[in-house]
Each structure stands twice: as C-alpha cells, then as structure tokens.
Structure 1
Amino acid sequence: MVDDQKSMITRFIDKVRESSQPGYVISLRRQITLMFLVLFAIVQIALITVNYFTSRTTVISRISNDLDHSVSSFDRIISDQKDHLYLQADLLSKDFGFIEAFATNDTRTTKSALKNIKARGDTDIALAIDLDGKVIAQVSEGEDLDIMAQLTMDELIEMAEAEKALPYFMVSGDRLYELAVAPIKAPILTGVMIFAITLNDDQAELIKSFSSKDLDVAFVHSIDDKWQVSGNTNGPEFINFFVSDAVSKENLGSRDRIRFQNDEYMVRFLPLTGVGFDTQQYLLLSTSLDLAMEEYLLLFIALVGVGFLGLISLFVGSYLLSDRISAPITRFASAAAKVAQGKYAPLEVSDSYREVNNLGQSFNHMIKAVKEREKQITHQASHDQDTGLPNGQYMDQVMQGYLQQNKSFALVIAEIQNFHDLRVVLPHGHLTTLMQSAGHRLEKLTGVEVARLSTDTFGFLIPNADMAKTLMRGVVDGFLAPISLDDRKVDLNLLLGMAIAPDDGTVTNDLMLNAHSALDFARTSGESFVICNEEHKNSQEKYLSLMSDLREELSQGHVKFAFQPKLNLQTGDVFGAEALIRWISPKHGFVPPDEFITMAEQTGDIKHLTSWALGQIIEQVGKWKKEFPEFLVAVNLSTRDLQNENLPDLLRMITREFEVAPERICLEVTESAVMGDMKRALKILNELADMGFYLSIDDYGTGYSSLAYIKKLPVHELKIDKAFVLNLATSPEDQILVQSTIDLAHNLGMKVTAEGVEDEQSLALLKQYGCDCAQGYFISRPVFVSEFEDFCRDQK
C-alpha cells in the first residue's frame, strides 16, 4: 500500500532528474501535473503512516491488556484448584476409616479412598506416603508420579506443614504437574498425601476460555537444558519452534516479542515455582500481532483506494490546465501546501476558465476526502475503541475549554466497583457490551456526554455545579436496577467521586486528582457518592509536600542517623552497629522511616535518599577509623536500590572519597528485595561481594524464600527477624525456629545476628544456641553519634 505510493514518488524524481539535463524543456502542463501529484502523494503517505502506527499502538496496548488479564486468570485458576485440593485433603484427613487404613498399611482401603477423590475429577494423581517414604497407595492414569526420586521425606513434610498452603509445580517424565501436599495425622503426623493435576492441553484450554479467543496458552519446562511442552492450545509448530534452540531462553521473564515464520507474536512468560529436580517451568501466553492487525486491513485498503482515486482525479484535472492559467496555478500550489500542513479550507473556484473550474472542483473533492479520513482517525484517537464512548483525552479537552471560559462545573468519576469480579465470570465480548450499556445509562441519567477513562471508570462533566449533588443521587438510584445482558441480569456497584471547578482546581490535573481522592474515600468509607473536601485534598497535598520537605531538610540537618550497637555473643564486645535513619521535622515532627522511605520509592526519590545516606554513614565510619578501626556498620538497602545497576559504582566512589575499606560496611537486604528480580539482584550482590562489602539478609523468616534460595546468594550473614526473638524466653515454638535457623545457617557457612533482644533470658538462650551476634533494647536502644561513642568507650 505505502510502497505503491513510494514507487510513484521515485518515478517522479527520475523525471525531475531527466528534466534537469541540458536542452530539456518540460511543459508547464506536465510541471503542474507532477507537482500536485507529488504533494498529494506525500499527504497520502503521511496519513497512511500515521494511521498504521496509531492502529499498531492500539493493537499492542489491547493485546498487552489481554495478556495481563490471562495471567490473572491463570493465578485465579491455579489458586482455585489448589484451594479445592487442600479442601479434599482436609476432608480426607478427618475420615477415621482412611486414617486407620493408612496407619495399618491397608493399601486397598487407602487406595479406595484416593480413587473416590480421583473419580470426582478433583485430581489426576493421588498418593499416600508414610514417614519412611514408602508409597502406601497411588492412584493415577498412565505414568506414575515418581515423587520420591525428586524430593526427600523431610521436604515433603515441610511442604505439608507449611503455615500457608501453596501450589507447587514439579516435572516428572515429560509432564508438568501442579502439586498439593497435605499432612496425615492420627493425631500426630503419620504421613503425607499428595494430589497432582497434570498441566496438559485441557488445562491450557481452560485458561484460554477466560481470555481472548486469539490467545494461545502453553506450559513449557526444561530438564538438563532440554525444553519440552506439557500442554498447549496452539498447533505444535509454533511451540516446537519455541522449545528448539532457535529461540534464546535468556531473560524469558522480560521477553515480550518472538518472530516466527514472518509473523510477530506478543508473548508473556510467567515462571512457575518448581520443586524437585533443577528445572525451569513457565506458563507461555502468546498471540499473533499480525493477525490482530488484520482487522485494520480494510481501512488501509480503503485509504489506498481513495488515495488512488484522488490521484487520478487530480491528474485528469491538472492535465487540462494550459499556460494561460499561470495565476490560478499559484493559488492551487498554495492550497496544496496548506493541505500538507493539515489546513483543509476549500479552494475558491473561479468561473473564468472551465479547466480551472474542473481542477478546483477535483481539488476540493480531494480535500473533503482527506478531511473525512482525518476526522475518522481523530475520532479513533478521542474515543474508546471498545464502547465507542469518548475517552479521557476528549474529556480533558472539554475541561480545558470550560476552565478557559472560567465556568463553574463539576467533574464526576464513576467506578464500577465490582468490575474485576464480573471480568471473571463474563466473556470479553459480554463485558464490552456491559460497559457500553453502563456508559449509555450514565448518559441517560445525567443528560451529558460520558467518557470512558479506564477499564472500570467513567467520567463526565456537569455544567451546573449547583445541580450536581441532586443529579448524583439520581445516578446512584438509577444503578440500583440491574443491566440486562442477553438472558441474564447484572448488578453494578457504582461509586462516584466529584470535584468542583474552580474550588477544587483550576487545571485539569488538579481536578482529576481531587476527584480521584473523593473516589478513594468512597471506596474506604462505604459511601456511594463523595464530594471532594479539604480533608481529601489535604491528604493528597501532605503526600506531595512530604517528599518536597524531605529533599529540603536533608541539607538542613533534620535527617540524622542513630546507631544501635551490635554485640559479639562469643566475646561480649561491641563490634559494630546498625545505622537507622531518623527524620525529626520542624514541620511534621517525627516521621516514621517506613512512611517516608515507602513514599520515596514510589516517587523515585529513593536514589537521591540512598546516595545521601550512604555518603553520611561512610563518612562517619571514616571518622571512627582511628578510635574504632575494626567497627562494622550496617546500612539497609531498599528494593529499588537492589535493582539500581549503578549502586556498585556509587559505593566505590564514596568509599574511595572517605578512604573506608568496603569490609567495614555491612549492606543489609531483605528477602523480598532479593526475590523481586533475583537475576538482577544476584548480579549486583555478586559485584558488591567481589568489592569486599559484607552482605546480610535482613528480617530473615518474614518472607517467602528459603535457605535453599539464600544459599545461592553471596551473603555472609543471616539476620533473624525480631518477630521470632521478642518472645524467645517464653515461646518454645520460637526457640525451635531460632535454634534450627542458627544451625542451618552455620552449616551453610554464614554467621547469624538476632535482632529484637529485649531481656536477659533471650540473650542467654541465643548464646547457648551458638548465635554469633545480637542487638536490641536490652543491649542498647538506637542512639545518636555522641551517645553511641560514649557507650562504646564504657564497654571497653
């Protein structure tokens, strides 16, 4: 399409080169014809190019949303299956007959109970295993699940007695399974039962049924770097291409495109937590970008066709011109230049010459056609493609017009509160129809245009702000009646947030922010309709001003560090401290670290805060080199810090500036920070470890990781969270957890620090367990520099 018009321009350029040869005289008629043809071709190419890239961007955005929805559907399906399996396990564990049969090794009765669960279609494979690892009974179709070849009995017991029931994924043979592991107690633990669901083609089709019809789903896994397919909805051709060596398996989590047979696929890889052998398994979601673009093919053909007809009309009209109409030529050239700039004023046609009239009419027809096509493109840019309603950009323009005229009006944002629940049960097409009906009902109730702002929100403007409150009550009442959708009726829970101009803002961003603040309050207060007031605006303003005040007060000395001593339990000496940030603001008073650090992460200020904090702490360590040369000072890093690839360079620069050895700095990171993007975190941690920094896992025991993952990290220390230490003296459970963690960490070559020591008995127990270090209020509260130095001197 675009190539045809490009070739026309190329031919024109060749003609121009030919005309530039000595002795060549080109006629005026040909000059006029060629000039208008090339101008019109440029406009056509520009319009088609803009339309193509606008359409492609829209399709990519829609497919991305479909993929996100499919990931949510998968999480929901897996969660439902997991909950159902654990429910069956719980019911079976309360069956006295089953417990007795299992305890007496009655394989027949045990197997019968497992068959009953399988017969109901709840599971594909069911096993009962005693504490010696012996399979008492197994029920399956086809290949058995050889689970004991991959997991030890201790691992199965740990999975069965986990505080939070989790789905596990395991590869056996060439199949991928979802596992649920539950204890068998009578009443003490006598074994475990395992239920497994095969992630096969049926499971893939189930996920697809909750997604776009063009979406393909596959389960893929690798064993010994060989990739296999467990189940999929696509033909094997694309999947076989993926599992082949033709596609790199590096950074699968960040891949979003794969090209196959001249077709581009948008993909999403969701890693599945595996147990057993060292395998990788993923949920692969894919959809053809080229197939999605086919719906715009007719539009592109129409654009080319109309453009071609326009070129023919222009050619015929311009060819009739003669050298007597040189003056009209100037007018035509000027008009064509304006069209290229997007100005579509019709050309005034003179009655003097028939040829000029014909060309003028043809030119005006062309302008009208181009204007109609641009109007269509503009409509697409300002309207929601699913519902046909205006979008947020359109409403923003209308608001700006009202504000420029100093009009008082109300902005209302309406949210379908139960939209995400409806998305689970309604097909995508029905969901689109539902939102269309909801938008039209809003228009009928309000009498104004309604725009769709996002997936589940609408917005509209009420010119008469005084009438808005009464009108909104009518809107709420109007949505008490359900919306009819084919053969069902759907109830919509509507929440409204309103801001009034100019009281709540004189620019569109302020109005939208305050309307959303009112809507947020409606969500938490249980009210259906909330008007923005000072309380809502103050909460937003406080959030924004807090970060501004933090940046200002960093340089004014209102943000400092307190140091909590760390005690070596083997020698009884204070060997270092943890640096804890404290912000005591003249304006806000004491601001908790969790509050302003979280805000800094959300606003992007965390990089500046980290850079400042590391400079302050390392500078202080440099000052202590003479009096406390062996001190180890710990500093906490945030999740965002651990994803910052410039962090090692920053630390290298600061330690060199203050001549501090990296071995004197302990960098503490949380489990969740490491597990967020483990590949990037490992890269940064390995680089920091190679530089000589002492690394510690902070708050160990509160996240979802295990020592199996922690041992992969280049860390020197585990720091047991205070939640397990505060009641250590009186809690046998905490004593078991703490002692076992200390033993396991030592076996992995790591030291252990316990935080939150509040009493002498806990300190004595930690020393008895072989814990290396401790900190807490029983030793010392966090204190500022001068008091900390006095404490250390007294300890000497």
Structure 2
Amino acid sequence: MRSVLSVVLLTSSAPALAQSLAGQPLFYIVLLLAALVLLLAGWVLVLKKRLARQQPVEEEAKPQDLSFLSLHDDTSGLPNKLQLQQQFELWCRSHSNQKASLLLLKIQNFERVNQALGHQNANLVLLQIAQRINAAVQQDQELLVLEQQGKQSSKVAHLGGVDFVLWVDASTRQHAAEQIARRLEHKVPEALLIHGCAVEYQLKSGIAHYPQHGVLLSDLIDRAHLAMQNRQWTQTSSQVFHPDLISYNNEKLGLMAELRHAISQQQLKLHIQPQIALSSRQVVAGEVLVRWHHPRRGLLGPAEFLELAEQMGVIYPLTQWVLEKAVMTLAELAQQEIHCKIAVNISSKDLLQDELVDSLELLLKKYKVKPSQLVLELKESALVAEPDKAMRMLNHLAQLGVELALDDFGTGFSSLAYLRELPISQVKVDCSFIFDLHRSDTHTAITGAIIDMAKNMNFMVVAEGIEQPEVEQKLIAMGCARGQGFLYAKPFALDAFPEWVKQWSYSKATY
C-alpha cells in the first residue's frame, strides 16, 4: 500500500517539481528527470509483483488426467472401448484356451428420452442407468474387472451412445452370459426420477461366444449386436448369435434397401377388397392392400415384407405413399358420385410419428376429400408399445374426422375398459373365427359372443374372410353389419375399383 501511495504522491507533486526546476541548468534537469523515470519504473515493477501474488495461481488447479480421459466415457465415467480393447487383449494372452462370452446391452428407445428431457437431462439419465448396470453385476464373479477404484470395480464398458459391454468367463458356467443378461433385462429397468418426471426404459441384449463366433473384439461386438437385432425383428427369446444370421440379416437389409426405392421405381401396387353392407348388399367401403412387384422375387404379398418394414423403420414412408393413393382414389370416387369409403392399415410405428395428423390433414385438403371418407385400421398390438402416446394420436385423428377401426378384434388381450376408451367406431372380427363358422358350433358361439360384445360397446362390426353364403346368413342373424371376403371379390387393382362398384350396383349379385 505504501508503494501505491508513493507513486500517487510523486505523480501529484509533478507540477510543483516543474516550478522548482525552472531556471536550473539543463544538465541538472535531465538528471533529475531520469532519476524520476527510474523511480517510477521501480514502483511499477513492485506493483506488478504484488498484484500477481494477490491473483489465484493457475498452477494450483489440478490439470485433467489425459490418460484417464482417453480410457473412459465422458458421460458415464465407465471404461470405454479403448480400455475394453486393452483388457480384452490382456485376457486373451493369459487365457488362450478358455471360453468366454461378450454380452452387449442396449438401452431401447433412448432417443425419446432425449427429445422429451433435452440433451443435458438425458445424459443424467444415461449416467444413472450406467451406474445401475455396473452396481447390479458387482457380485458376478464370472465378469472381467476392467478397472478397480477403491472398493468399487468397473465390470461394464460403455461403448458410447446407449451400448454397454460385459466380458463373461464361460469356463465354469456355459450359459453364464445368458443368465446374467436375463437378470439385467428384468431387474435393472426401473423408472428413474428426473426433476419429478418418471423415465421408463428397457434393456435388450445380444451375446457372441469367444472363440466360437470370433476372436477379434470388433467382430464379437458386431455379432452380438446382430443377435440383438434379430431378436427384436423375430420376437424370439434367444439373444445368442448364430452364423446363419449373417446371410439372413444381409438378405433382410438388402430387401429393405430395395423397398426404400420401390416407390419411386413404381414397383408397389395397391389392390383393394370391397366391404359389403350385409343388409342392403351395397358396397360401402374397400380395404387397400399393398403388393410389391419385385424385379427378381416376383409378386410379394404384404406378409412377406410389411412386418419387416415396420421392424426396420421403413414402414412410415410406405404408409404415406399408400395414404396418398387411397385419398386420390376417394377424390376420383367423389367426382363420379360414388359414395364409398376406403380403409388403410396403419402400424404402431405410424402412430408414433408426430407429423402423421398434420400430413394427413394436408393430404385431405389437397385432394378435397372429406376426412370421414377415410378409415384407418390398426391392430390391437399397435397400442401396446406406447399406449399413452398411441391414445393421444388416435384422439387427434378422431378430432380430424377420420374413422378408426380396430382390426383382428377378438385376438388381442386388452381389457374391455381400455377398449371403451379408444375413439374407434368399428371393429373387424378376425377371419380365423369366420372361416369355419358354418361347420363348427364352437366357432359360432365364439363369433356370436364377440359380435354381441362389440355391439354392446357401440362398435359397428365388420366380418373378414366370408367365403360361403351360409356364413353370410349366420352373420346377418348375429347382427353383423358388414362383410368382406372372397364371396364378394378377391383383392383386385385399386384403379379398377370405381368401375367395379358401378358394376356391382348394376348387377346386385345374389349368391
């Protein structure tokens, strides 16, 4: 402080000093001014040193350990793929003749958590899930310890994103990885609370055995991932890789890649099967069915590619194409004064698309079609994955004015209370109940009960798979409103539907 005051005093007394120097020889003036400059420079140096001592010293902050960062995931803090690779190589050198398994775990549908909570909160969820997985396997002696920090060991590697890997010693228990995977899938996914919100999630697993399925870590990870994908696609319980999956998967991926281009290449065609009002025998609607004229495989029916398209995320653009073709046909029917509805099947993945309602509304306005002329059919299974979001979407569609129908009614497992909440107006009784209706009293009793239940819930009933006049008569007696099946027409090209309706109206065919 004294140094600061001295500098201030020196600078403040400069005018007086200048007066005292007036009339003095030039030599003395220059000498005195030089001394003054040196004095000021010295005080400035002292001030700089003292100010520097008062500031925090950067060297006191502990630098980040670069080696730690290079071997750990920056979100979860768990060992990353590089550290897993190092430990894998050490294990292989010391266990040359030993069997092991690579267990891959993946958090399902985590992108929805990201969208709902934001990136920062989603990372907090990811951190907690990672900690849960690692805590759940602390007592599993078969697992390779990737890192030991105090009493806590890290037995899980975080590959980045939502993928985790465990290395399982299979020398004493052949199916140890499968048992650990099942336990983790069932016990770890409990809802997490983030800022008062409950976050639901699921874990799915895939397993590849060493050295049976590969000796390189990258190959084992790829094959465990392939096993997990196949499990999702085929809804099987086995999560273990099999060599046949390579060709099987490549075939599926190739087929779906071709499907993405099939629309622009005009390989897809729509057929339609009419629906008849059983009491008046008028054509009231038609259900569109997609066919794929594959250049090498020939004509493919819906069962050969639609389910796969839904599993692999290709179904929504296909549904959009079908919807536009259906709405175009409705516009053509209106121009010809044909009053008939068209039904389109939508999947569970379609219901999860936020833009579905807006795009459909634009489509109806573009072709000047009334929403009530379009029927959207969905299976009960489409409501299972995310029932709350599916219900919201159905309510939005109902508010738009389109008619909603529940397909394969009687084969699902939803409670009646849940079905009552759905904004649907009609149900379609599955053809498995209808086909042998005239031959089996059991089928008659079951079908009658299903129709009565639907009518009591104020649903209009459509019967699929009618092929014999006797079946039609029984359905009329049961109070079924509409029928669809080979008795009236096999599926035919959509372009021919307006003309077919006219011919049916003229003929009023009876059987």
Identify the match of residue 439 of structure 1 among 144, 149, 157. 144
Contact 2:407–2:430 under 8 Å retained in 1: yes
Q: Which residue type is aligned with residue 794 of structure 1? A: Q
Change (3 A) 1:610 1:746: same
Q: Which residue type is aligned with residue 414 of structure 1? A: S
Distance 2:303 2:463 in 1: 21
Change (3 A) 1:529 1:733: closer
Match of 2:386 in 1: 677
Distance 2:263 2:402 in 1: 26
Match of 1:498 in 2: 213
Q: Report the TM-score, using the length of structure 2 for normalisation.
A: 0.62
Identify the match of residue 450 of structure 2 among 724, 729, 741. 741
Q: Secondary structure at the match of 1:763?
A: helix
Distance 1:572 1:521 in 2: 46
Contact 1:413–1:457 under 8 Å retained in 2: no
Deviations 1:642-696 (A, max 9, x none): 2333222111100111111111111112222235434333332233223221211
Trace 1:589-628 onto structure 2 (pairs within 5 A): 589-594=298-303, 596-627=305-336
Deviations 1:473-523 (A, max 9, x none): xx866766999xxxxxxxxx994453477xxxxxx977742465489999x
Identify the match of residue 29 of structure 1 among 46, 49, 56. 49
Contact 2:84–2:157 under 8 Å retained in 1: no
- 1:782 is aligned to 2:491: yes
- 1:768 is aligned to 2:457: no
Q: Which residue type is aligned with residue 612 of structure 1? A: W
- 1:414 is aligned to 2:101: yes
Contact 1:671–1:699 under 8 Å retained in 2: yes
- 1:713 is aligned to 2:418: no
Contact 1:668–1:698 under 8 Å retained in 2: yes
Q: Secondary structure at the match of 2:271?
A: strand
Q: Report the TM-score, using the length of structure 1 for normalisation.
A: 0.42
Contact 2:285–2:340 under 8 Å retained in 1: yes
Q: Secondary structure at the match of 2:265?
A: coil
Match of 1:370 in 2: 63
Contact 2:262–2:268 under 8 Å retained in 1: yes
Trace 1:166-315 onto structure 2 (pairs within 5 A): 310=60
Change (3 A) 1:456 1:735: farther
Identify the match of residue 557 of structure 1 among 266, 270, 283. 266
Q: Secondary structure at the match of 1:542?
A: helix
Distance 1:676 1:726 in 2: 30
Match of 1:699 in 2: 408
Contact 2:379–2:408 under 8 Å retained in 1: yes
Contact 1:716–1:751 under 8 Å retained in 2: yes
Identify the match of residue 73 of structure 2 among 381, 384, 387. 381
Trace 1:298-377 onto structure 2 (pairs within 5 A): 310=60, 370=63, 373-376=65-68
Distance 1:543 1:746 in 2: 42
Change (3 A) 1:514 1:657: same
Distance 2:342 2:312 in 1: 28
Identify the match of residue 350 of structure 2 among 641, 649, 662. 641
Q: Which runs of 5+ in 2 are unaligned?
A: 1-10, 13-42, 89-98, 105-132, 147-154, 178-206, 506-511
Q: Which residue type is aligned with residue 439 of structure 1? A: L
Deviations 1:153-195 (A, max 9, x none): xxxxxxxxxxxxxxxxxxxxxxxxxxxxxxxxxxxxxxxxxxx
Identify the match of residue 725 of structure 1 among 419, 434, 441. 434
Match of 2:502 in 1: 793
Identify the match of residue 339 of structure 2 among 630, 638, 641. 630
- 1:540 is aligned to 2:255: no
Deviations 1:525-574 (A, max 9, x none): 999996x5xx5433222232222211111111111211011111011122
Distance 2:361 2:435 in 1: 37
Deviations 1:712-733 (A, max 9, x none): 2222111111121122112222
Q: Secondary structure at the match of 1:625?
A: helix
Q: Secondary structure at the match of 1:740?
A: helix
Change (3 A) 1:581 1:397: farther
Identify the match of residue 375 of structure 2 among 663, 666, 669. 666
Q: CA deviation at 1:766?
A: 0.6
Q: Which residue type is aligned with residue 548 of structure 1? A: A
The number of aligned residues is 380
Match of 2:465 in 1: 756
Higher Rg of the two aligned structures: 2
Larger RCO, structure (CA 8 Å, separation 6 or more): 2
Deviations 1:315-336 (A, max 9, x none): xxxxxxxxxxxxxxxxxxxxxx
Q: Which residue type is aligned with residue 432 of structure 1? A: Q
Q: Which runs of 5+ in 1 are unaligned?
A: 1-21, 41-309, 312-368, 400-411, 418-426, 442-449, 460-474, 484-492, 502-507
